[in-house]
Amino acid sequence: MKIRYYAETDTLHIEFQDGPVAETRDLDENTLLDVDAGGNICAITVEHASKRAGIPQFSYEQITA
């Protein structure tokens, strides 16, 4: 997984897997979902991320089962 924040455009891009994108779906006017040919999520793009997703603050926690 790769998470990129572009401050100049206030855009957050979360890449779940690297591979060919078959379709980009508009979830709303500021959120895009990229899926592969099997319908698996490749990436999510969030515009106006500082207002909508709490970016640039970020934390990561891995929890074992």
8 found inside a domain: yes
Q: Give the per-residue pLDDT at 26.
A: 97
Q: Would you say 53 and 39 are in contact if contact means Cβ atoms under 8 Å apart?
A: no
pLDDT in tens, 3-43: 999 999 999 999 999 999 999 999 999 999 999 999 999 99
58 found inside a domain: no
61 found inside a domain: no
Intra-chain end-to-end CA distance of the chain, in Å: 20
Place of tokens 């006017």: 29
Q: Give the per-residue pLDDT at 13.
A: 94
* pLDDT greater than 80 at residue 47: yes
Q: What does pTM read for this prediction?
A: 0.84
Q: Give the per-residue pLDDT at 59.
A: 78
55 found inside a domain: no
**What is the 8-class DSSP label of residue 50?**
H
Q: Which domain covers residue 17, as residue numbers?
A: 2-50
36 found inside a domain: yes
Domains of the chain: total: 1
